[in-house]
Protein backbone atom coordinates (compact mmCIF):
# COMPACT_ATOMS: atom_id res chain seq x y z
CA UNK A 1 0.00 0.00 0.00
CA UNK A 2 1.34 3.41 -1.00
CA UNK A 3 1.15 5.78 1.95
CA UNK A 4 0.66 9.50 1.39
CA UNK A 5 2.68 12.14 3.19
CA UNK A 6 -0.44 13.43 4.93
CA UNK A 7 -1.21 9.92 6.24
CA UNK A 8 2.33 9.79 7.64
CA UNK A 9 1.80 13.18 9.28
CA UNK A 10 -1.38 11.96 11.01
CA UNK A 11 0.40 8.76 12.07
CA UNK A 12 3.16 10.94 13.55
CA UNK A 13 0.48 12.74 15.58
CA UNK A 14 -0.65 9.39 16.99
CA UNK A 15 2.95 8.50 17.87
CA UNK A 16 3.36 11.87 19.58
CA UNK A 17 0.15 11.24 21.52
CA UNK A 18 1.79 8.19 23.04
CA UNK A 19 5.16 9.86 23.56
CA UNK A 20 3.36 12.64 25.43
CA UNK A 21 1.94 10.01 27.79
CA UNK A 22 -1.69 10.38 26.71
CA UNK A 23 -2.08 6.75 25.60
CA UNK A 24 0.11 3.66 25.19
CA UNK A 25 0.98 2.59 21.62
CA UNK A 26 -0.90 -0.69 22.07
CA UNK A 27 -4.03 1.11 23.31
CA UNK A 28 -3.96 3.46 20.32
CA UNK A 29 -3.61 0.51 17.95
CA UNK A 30 -6.40 -1.40 19.71
CA UNK A 31 -8.77 1.59 19.40
CA UNK A 32 -7.85 2.12 15.74
CA UNK A 33 -8.58 -1.54 15.04
CA UNK A 34 -11.92 -1.22 16.83
CA UNK A 35 -12.80 1.74 14.60
CA UNK A 36 -11.68 -0.22 11.53
CA UNK A 37 -13.90 -3.19 12.41
CA UNK A 38 -16.92 -0.96 12.98
CA UNK A 39 -16.36 0.89 9.70
CA UNK A 40 -15.84 -2.38 7.80
CA UNK A 41 -19.12 -3.73 9.18
CA UNK A 42 -21.07 -0.87 7.58
CA UNK A 43 -20.51 0.31 4.02
CA UNK A 44 -23.00 3.12 4.68
CA UNK A 45 -20.95 4.40 7.61
CA UNK A 46 -17.77 4.40 5.55
CA UNK A 47 -19.52 6.24 2.70
CA UNK A 48 -20.87 8.90 5.06
CA UNK A 49 -17.43 9.48 6.61
CA UNK A 50 -15.56 9.81 3.29
CA UNK A 51 -18.19 11.58 1.16
CA UNK A 52 -17.48 15.31 0.82
CA UNK A 53 -21.20 16.05 0.27
CA UNK A 54 -22.06 15.06 3.86
CA UNK A 55 -21.73 18.13 6.11
CA UNK A 56 -18.89 18.01 8.64
CA UNK A 57 -21.26 18.69 11.55
CA UNK A 58 -23.29 15.60 10.63
CA UNK A 59 -20.09 13.51 10.42
CA UNK A 60 -19.01 14.72 13.86
CA UNK A 61 -22.38 13.76 15.36
CA UNK A 62 -22.20 10.31 13.77
CA UNK A 63 -18.63 9.78 14.99
CA UNK A 64 -19.64 10.82 18.50
CA UNK A 65 -22.78 8.64 18.52
CA UNK A 66 -21.06 5.51 17.22
CA UNK A 67 -17.60 5.66 18.79
CA UNK A 68 -18.00 7.61 22.05
CA UNK A 69 -18.50 4.52 24.23
CA UNK A 70 -16.18 2.30 22.16
CA UNK A 71 -12.82 4.11 22.22
CA UNK A 72 -10.63 6.46 24.24
CA UNK A 73 -11.53 10.17 24.08
CA UNK A 74 -8.16 10.98 22.48
CA UNK A 75 -8.85 8.68 19.54
CA UNK A 76 -12.41 10.01 19.30
CA UNK A 77 -10.98 13.53 19.00
CA UNK A 78 -8.52 12.24 16.39
CA UNK A 79 -11.42 10.85 14.32
CA UNK A 80 -13.21 14.20 14.57
CA UNK A 81 -10.10 15.99 13.30
CA UNK A 82 -9.95 13.58 10.34
CA UNK A 83 -13.59 14.44 9.57
CA UNK A 84 -13.01 18.19 9.94
CA UNK A 85 -9.93 18.11 7.72
CA UNK A 86 -11.71 15.84 5.19
CA UNK A 87 -9.05 13.14 5.60
CA UNK A 88 -11.20 10.16 6.59
CA UNK A 89 -10.54 8.66 3.15
CA UNK A 90 -6.92 8.16 4.33
CA UNK A 91 -7.85 6.32 7.52
CA UNK A 92 -6.48 2.94 6.37
CA UNK A 93 -3.24 4.56 5.18
CA UNK A 94 -2.87 6.34 8.53
CA UNK A 95 -3.21 3.06 10.40
CA UNK A 96 -0.66 1.41 8.10
CA UNK A 97 1.76 4.33 8.56
CA UNK A 98 1.24 4.13 12.35
CA UNK A 99 2.02 0.40 12.33
CA UNK A 100 5.15 1.00 10.26
CA UNK A 101 6.35 3.68 12.69
CA UNK A 102 5.66 1.35 15.62
CA UNK A 103 7.74 -1.32 13.89
CA UNK A 104 10.60 1.19 13.53
CA UNK A 105 10.35 2.18 17.20
CA UNK A 106 10.28 -1.48 18.25
CA UNK A 107 13.05 -2.51 15.79
CA UNK A 108 10.71 -4.92 13.99
CA UNK A 109 10.81 -6.01 10.35
CA UNK A 110 7.85 -7.74 8.70
CA UNK A 111 8.62 -10.07 5.83
CA UNK A 112 6.83 -12.49 3.54
CA UNK A 113 8.34 -15.90 2.76
CA UNK A 114 6.97 -17.91 -0.17
CA UNK A 115 7.82 -21.58 -0.62
CA UNK A 116 6.57 -24.44 -2.77
CA UNK A 117 5.74 -26.60 0.25
CA UNK A 118 4.66 -26.05 3.82
CA UNK A 119 7.78 -25.53 5.89
CA UNK A 120 8.35 -27.19 9.26
CA UNK A 121 8.27 -24.97 12.34
CA UNK A 122 11.94 -25.79 12.90
CA UNK A 123 12.91 -24.64 9.39
CA UNK A 124 10.79 -21.48 9.73
CA UNK A 125 12.59 -20.67 12.96
CA UNK A 126 15.98 -21.18 11.29
CA UNK A 127 15.00 -18.71 8.55
CA UNK A 128 13.79 -16.16 11.11
CA UNK A 129 16.94 -16.57 13.22
CA UNK A 130 19.19 -16.09 10.18
CA UNK A 131 17.33 -12.96 9.05
CA UNK A 132 17.29 -11.53 12.59
CA UNK A 133 21.05 -12.02 12.72
CA UNK A 134 21.56 -10.38 9.28
CA UNK A 135 19.14 -7.48 9.74
CA UNK A 136 19.65 -6.99 13.49
CA UNK A 137 15.88 -6.69 13.90
CA UNK A 138 13.06 -8.76 15.34
CA UNK A 139 11.48 -10.57 12.40
CA UNK A 140 7.79 -11.33 11.97
CA UNK A 141 7.16 -13.53 8.96
CA UNK A 142 4.06 -14.22 6.94
CA UNK A 143 4.34 -17.66 5.35
CA UNK A 144 2.80 -18.40 1.96
CA UNK A 145 2.74 -21.49 -0.19
CA UNK A 146 3.01 -21.29 -3.99
CA UNK A 147 3.69 -24.52 -5.87
CA UNK A 148 4.91 -22.51 -8.89
CA UNK A 149 8.04 -21.69 -6.89
CA UNK A 150 9.05 -25.38 -7.42
CA UNK A 151 11.75 -25.30 -4.74
CA UNK A 152 13.74 -22.77 -2.73
CA UNK A 153 12.32 -19.59 -1.25
CA UNK A 154 11.20 -16.12 -2.24
CA UNK A 155 11.61 -13.61 0.59
CA UNK A 156 10.04 -10.14 0.44
CA UNK A 157 11.64 -7.57 2.75
CA UNK A 158 10.07 -4.16 2.12
CA UNK A 159 10.66 -3.51 -1.59
CA UNK A 160 13.51 -6.04 -1.82
CA UNK A 161 13.08 -9.60 -3.06
CA UNK A 162 15.49 -12.44 -2.38
CA UNK A 163 14.61 -15.14 -4.89
CA UNK A 164 16.37 -18.49 -4.42
CA UNK A 165 13.59 -20.43 -6.13
CA UNK A 166 14.26 -23.08 -8.73
CA UNK A 167 11.64 -21.38 -10.91
CA UNK A 168 13.77 -18.19 -10.92
CA UNK A 169 16.95 -20.14 -11.70
CA UNK A 170 15.23 -21.91 -14.61
CA UNK A 171 13.93 -18.60 -15.98
CA UNK A 172 17.42 -17.09 -15.80
CA UNK A 173 18.91 -20.16 -17.49
CA UNK A 174 16.30 -19.90 -20.25
CA UNK A 175 17.09 -16.20 -20.80
CA UNK A 176 20.81 -16.99 -21.05
CA UNK A 177 20.17 -19.78 -23.56
CA UNK A 178 18.07 -17.46 -25.71
CA UNK A 179 20.75 -14.76 -25.60
CA UNK A 180 23.42 -17.34 -26.37
CA UNK A 181 25.33 -16.61 -23.17
CA UNK A 182 26.16 -20.21 -22.32
User: pLDDT for 150-177, tens place per residue?
Assistant: 888 999 998 899 888 887 777 777 777 8
Query: Of 54, 75, 103, which residue constitutes the final position of a domain?
Result: 103
Whether residues 43 and 85 fall in one domain: yes
Whether residues 99 and 139 fall in one domain: no
Whether residues 82 and 135 fall in one domain: no
Write out pLDDT tens, residues 91-127. Answer: 999 999 999 999 999 999 999 999 989 999 999 999 9
Pick from 26, 30, 49, 46: which is nearest to 38 by CA? 46
Q: Place 182 in a pLDDT band, splitting at 50, 70 and 90.
A: low
How many independent structural domains does the chain possess? Answer: 2
- The mean pLDDT value of the chain amounts to 92
Write out pLDDT tens, residues 69-92. Answer: 999 999 999 999 999 999 999 999
Whether residues 11 and 79 fall in one domain: yes
Whether residues 37 and 62 fall in one domain: yes
Tell me, yes or no, if the pTM score tops 0.95. no
Write out pLDDT tens, residues 28-44. Answer: 999 999 999 999 999 99
Pick from 28, 30, 29, 32: which is nearest to 40 by CA? 32
Residue 12 has pLDDT above 80, yes or no: yes
CA distance 178 to 175: 5
- Which domain range does residue 170 map to? 108-179
Whether residues 150 and 64 fall in one domain: no
Amino acid sequence: MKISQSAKTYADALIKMSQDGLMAYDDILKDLETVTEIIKSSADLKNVLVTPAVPTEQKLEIINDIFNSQINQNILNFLKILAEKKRFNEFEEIIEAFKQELDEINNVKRITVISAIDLSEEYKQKIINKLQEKLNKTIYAEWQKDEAVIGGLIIHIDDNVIDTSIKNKLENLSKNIIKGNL
